[in-house]
Structure 1
């Protein structure tokens, strides 16, 4: 049994999310940083798409009623078990009755906890265990985990303990493709968006990262019919404060689109917290493919290393 003692700001069960259902109005959900999810799962011997617990900001506690291999990745929350540090990026042996304590996030916003074994959760919804908080389904109860929530995990020890792996480097320079509405917006809107830095609004969440600027005014009066949108789309509301849509975003919207974040860079938004600065850069499709291939190579190298170690 895994028991949530303190959930912190927001804690939820996520996997790689739901695909193929946006035409039904159902969002993607899933881990905002899927690479952290995959790497932590591999460190404890789970399948890549096994659920993990996504922890936001920290200040959380989780109790274990069995012996498990666990791994944390993402930002450093100065986690401890019985006073012993649990470093992000390493698998750790936790014993029955132990409590994992996470302090405040230091240089990021989210951490991902993998627990080695078979997770016993309510039935899959559209082939995913991910929690869609706005829609109210998935995960344990369809909502963020609360104090006192618990679920079973049958432990498995499919790998060696004490293994480590790095995440791909994070960045605050976000690469994007051009949007379709440049000609509809006031002159120089796109140029101003690219040439100025932006900071993350406190009103951001898993639906989208809202951006603010003290020096760039890109307000407009353009109104469009609703169209399909997806994670990565950068919407521009009339107030001139862009929104980068994330995993729990709606499936349609009527705001003009400034651009689309390339798939390889969406993971960076898992660690961008209120007040953090970022800026954007246009790239070609070829550059976007190269960035994705680099991430795939990172995972392939890890698979080769773990296969060698576990022989």
Structure 2
């Protein structure tokens, strides 16, 4: 059993989300950084798509009523147990009665907590335990975790403690593919979008990262019928302030789409907090495939290393 003592800014149960249901109007949800989820799960011996707890900003506390292997990954929140530091990217043994404390995030925005064992949650919806906070289902009764929430986890010790793994490097240089409306937007809109820097608006959330610029406005009067959108779609409202759709985004929208963030770079938005600056670059489909292959290779190398380490131990 674990108990949420302090949830911080936002804490929720997520896995890789709901795939194949957007035609029904059901969003994806899931971890904004699925690679952090996979890596932390591997460090504690869980399957890749096992649920984890996504922690936003920090300032959180969780109590454990059993002995578990845990792992954190993402930004450094100066986590500790009984005064002992818990470093991100390493498996850690936590004992019954211990309290995991997380301070404010330092150089990012989100952390992911994996706990080794079988999580006893309400029934999965469309093959996912992810919390869709806006729709009110999934996770633990469809809401972000709050103080006093509890759920049971049967521990499993399927790996070794002291295992470590790095996340793929994070970046503020975001690669994108040209969107379906790039050619019908006002002249030079795409050039202006990539030539200027943007920063994350305080009104951003898991639905989308709103972008602001002190140098550039991309206002337009283009009106379009609604069309399908997905995480990574970059919508351009008439006010000229783009929105990068994220995991909890709606399934349709009527704003022009200037581009789409490549799958390999969408994970960077897990750590981009309000005020952070970023740049965009248009790339080819081949470049997008190569970037994704590099991430797959990273996970494959980790699988080999963990298999060797566990066998050797």
2:53 is matched with: 53
CA distance in 2, matches of 1:214, 1:243: 16
What's the CA shift for 1:103?
Answer: 0.1
Aligned 1:260-271 pairs, distance under 5 A: 260-271=260-271
Q: Deviations over 1:202-250 (max 9, x none)?
A: 0000000000000001101111000000000000001111000000000
Q: Deviations over 1:88-141 (max 9, x none)?
A: 000000000000000000000000000000000000000000000000000001
Note the aligned Cα RMSD (angstroms).
0.5
1:234 is matched with: 234
CA distance in 1, matches of 2:106, 2:183: 41
* Secondary structure, aligned partner of 2:210: strand
2:246 is matched with: 246
Q: Deviations over 1:8-42 (max 9, x none)?
A: 00000000000010000000000000000000000
185-194 or 227-236, which deviates more: 185-194
* Secondary structure, aligned partner of 2:244: strand
Is 1:101 aligned to 2:106, yes or no?
no
CA distance in 1, matches of 2:244, 2:105: 22
Is 1:194 aligned to 2:189, yes or no?
no
Unaligned runs of 5+ in 2: none
Aligned 1:250-289 pairs, distance under 5 A: 250-289=250-289
Unaligned runs of 5+ in 1: none
Number of positions where the alignment pairs a residue of Structure 1 with one of Structure 2? 311
2:27 is matched with: 27
1:13 is matched with: 13
CA distance in 1, matches of 2:57, 2:217: 30
What's the CA shift for 1:186?
Answer: 1.3
What's the CA shift for 1:181?
Answer: 1.0
1:164 is matched with: 164
Structure 1 stretches of at least 4 aligned residues deviating more than 4 Å after TM superposition? none
CA distance in 2, matches of 1:282, 1:260: 9
CA distance in 1, matches of 2:183, 2:221: 13
* Secondary structure, aligned partner of 2:289: helix
Is 1:310 aligned to 2:310, yes or no?
yes
CA distance in 2, matches of 1:69, 1:21: 33
CA distance in 2, matches of 1:2, 1:259: 42
* Secondary structure, aligned partner of 2:19: coil
2:143 is matched with: 143
* Secondary structure, aligned partner of 1:310: helix
2:133 is matched with: 133
Is 1:122 aligned to 2:122, yes or no?
yes
* Secondary structure, aligned partner of 2:38: helix
* Secondary structure, aligned partner of 1:184: coil
2:217 is matched with: 217
* Secondary structure, aligned partner of 1:183: coil
What's the CA shift for 1:187?
Answer: 1.1
CA distance in 2, matches of 1:299, 1:54: 20
What's the CA shift for 1:182?
Answer: 2.1
CA distance in 1, matches of 2:306, 2:34: 19
